[in-house]
Structure 1
Amino acid sequence: MNKNSGKKYVSLTRGAWKKFWRAVKEADIVLEVLDSRDPQAFRMPSIEKRLTELGKKVILVINKADLVPREVLEAWKKALEKEYPTIYISAKYRLGTGKLRKLIYKVAQKKNDIIKVAVIGYPNVGKSSIINILKGSHSAPTGAKPGLTRHIQIIRHGRLRVLDTPGVFPYEDAETLVYKGAIRVETLDDPVAHAVELIEKLKKIKPDVLQQTYGIDDPDPMKFLEKLALKRGKLLKGGTPDIKEAARIVLRDWQLGKIVIYKLR
């Protein structure tokens, strides 16, 4: 149990894991979707190792490319493709999605046969949006709430058979999962502790990130949250700044990509 969250975060139930591996074992190719702001952090080494043991072909898909400069994306692509074929795209703006289809066909090495593709990754990395693109429509449910997709879906489009899976992640502490956007902000018992942790982590990467995002800053994360609450008009009775709501704003903005920050390779 994480002392700040008051909750244990179990990645998936046993039944969900069985569905996940059933889809993966059936697939010819596995797309592992990563967040462009910190691709390495969103990889799942233990699952990648198992995929290798199963003889599965893996493609690393760096999504949300619209949030990161191209030279940074190219550096990550160059580094990661030493292990697996890698591509960066923006599912939101449909950038690079045609190249993704071409890469799938190239890696599959099947001229006329059906190609089964499993899409895996942490919640909130954009798996459903990528599936929508691969199937050629927008009818599958998508959203920024982690864990929206709960059941395996099989989508047919041309030669592709796309198998969606629940968002998965190894057991990790709550702070790490909040950073990765894998936990809904509304479920946190203490959003302030998580926001402080996130602010400290982000400022180590980019010291002026708060000033650029909100137009205010403070060396003390708690004082920053007070300032943000006042600026946004989030007040409790008596005019006291609502620190909890300010914390939720920061956490949501991070999950939604409104805080522009990225890790260099």
Structure 2
Amino acid sequence: MSLRDVKRVIARADVVVEVVDARDPWATRSPEIERYAVRLGKPLLVVVNKSDLVPRDVLEKWRKVLEKHFPVVFISATKRMGTRMLWRSLRRVAPRKPRGKPVVAAVVGIPNVGKSTIINYLKGSHSVGTSPIPGFTKSITRLRAAGWLRVIDTPGVVPRMSQEELALRGALRPESLDDPVPAAKKLLELIMCKKPGLLKELYDVEAEDPVVFLENLARRRGLLGKGGVPLVEEAARIVLRDWQTGKNTFYLEPEDYGLSA
């Protein structure tokens, strides 16, 4: 799925729903998509998913930051938390359409933010109302979500950035990385600085240096090569995988980006 295709979808939509990850909302935004939606005059709703993984006071900080740009709703699609507010927010931001004409919402976001879970919730029992959109590949479909709403489902858009940054945003699986260690080191540095006790809690491993931590984790998990050398690459993939799947509940706050509420 190219960015050009997503822009074409946005051009056909009445409202854009951008899904971001509550653990790092700022980095999982899609600024280019946001700018394009604004340029076309399309209302945009930011849906902060996985909100159950972040304390409420931190979510409130993010609300104040994000609402300076767009309307925001916090949900956990897997736990059905905030989903009623999602429907209300969609109603509020969507333009009025002539009777009998549904609002078309384009749901966008980078991979692994939980976009598909939100789409599955929205379409609910109406999942049978699926049809391809003329002019697009089969990977883009229009789904009936309610009598007044149709959802355009698009695959996640991968931002143009390094493999390391993509992995930290959850947009690239650890197995796909040529070298997972730099991304894991950066994540570990953040955790060691902000919430060092979390690593001991998760892995029962302690170290003040990211590389030493990966070596110790590899030894603890029995990930050893010839001569008992710890396989730090495999340990790095474990760390990144746990972050991407939510097993590691580390989160970032606005002040980590120099943002004030």
Alpha-carbon deviation of 1:139?
6.7
Residue 44 of structure 2 aligns with which residue?
Answer: 58
Check whether the contact 2:126–2:145 (CA below 8 A) recurs between aligned residues. no
Alpha-carbon deviation of 1:26?
0.9
Residue 242 of structure 1 aligns with which residue?
Answer: 231
* 1:208 matches 2:194: no
SS in 2 for 1:92: helix
* 1:18 matches 2:4: yes
Check whether the contact 2:22–2:49 (CA below 8 A) recurs between aligned residues. yes
Picking from 176, 181, 188, the partner of 1:199 is 188
Residue 76 of structure 1 aligns with which residue?
Answer: 62
The aligned amino acid for 1:197 is: K
Check whether the contact 1:32–1:59 (CA below 8 A) recurs between aligned residues. yes
Alpha-carbon deviation of 1:40?
1.2
Alpha-carbon deviation of 1:162?
0.5
The aligned amino acid for 2:82 is: G
**Which string of whole-angstrom CA distances, capped at 9 and with x for unpartnered residues, describes residues 7-56 of structure 1?**
xxxxx5xxx33321121111111011111011111122222112111000
Change in 2 beyond 3 A, CA 1:46/1:109: closer
In 1: Cα distance, 2:31 partner to 2:181 partner: 30
Root-mean-square deviation over aligned CA pairs: 2.1
In 1: Cα distance, 2:109 partner to 2:157 partner: 6
The aligned amino acid for 2:232 is: I
In 2: Cα distance, 1:203 partner to 1:165 partner: 36
Check whether the contact 1:132–1:138 (CA below 8 A) recurs between aligned residues. no
1:21-170 mapped onto 2 (5 Å cutoff): 21-110=7-96, 112=99, 113-137=101-125, 151-158=139-146, 159-170=148-159
Check whether the contact 2:192–2:208 (CA below 8 A) recurs between aligned residues. no
Where has structure 1 moved over 6 Å in runs of 4 or more? none
Normalized against structure 1, the TM-score is what?
A: 0.84
SS in 1 for 2:77: coil
In 1: Cα distance, 2:186 partner to 2:67 partner: 32
In 2: Cα distance, 1:17 partner to 1:161 partner: 21
SS in 2 for 1:156: strand
Alpha-carbon deviation of 1:218?
0.6
Check whether the contact 1:118–1:162 (CA below 8 A) recurs between aligned residues. yes
Q: Give percent identity, aligned residues only.
A: 50
Alpha-carbon deviation of 1:94?
1.2
Residue 178 of structure 1 aligns with which residue?
Answer: 167
Alpha-carbon deviation of 1:171?
1.3
In 2: Cα distance, 1:212 partner to 1:138 partner: 42
Alpha-carbon deviation of 1:71?
1.7
In 2: Cα distance, 1:24 partner to 1:200 partner: 38
The aligned amino acid for 1:221 is: P
Picking from 208, 222, 227, the partner of 1:233 is 222
* 1:224 matches 2:210: no
In 2: Cα distance, 1:66 partner to 1:226 partner: 32
> How many pairs are equivalent?
242
Q: Which runs of 5+ in 2 are unaligned?
A: 129-137, 255-261
Residue 258 of structure 1 aligns with which residue?
Answer: 247
Check whether the contact 1:213–1:260 (CA below 8 A) recurs between aligned residues. no
Alpha-carbon deviation of 1:251?
0.9
In 2: Cα distance, 1:40 partner to 1:17 partner: 19
Normalized against structure 2, the TM-score is what?
A: 0.86
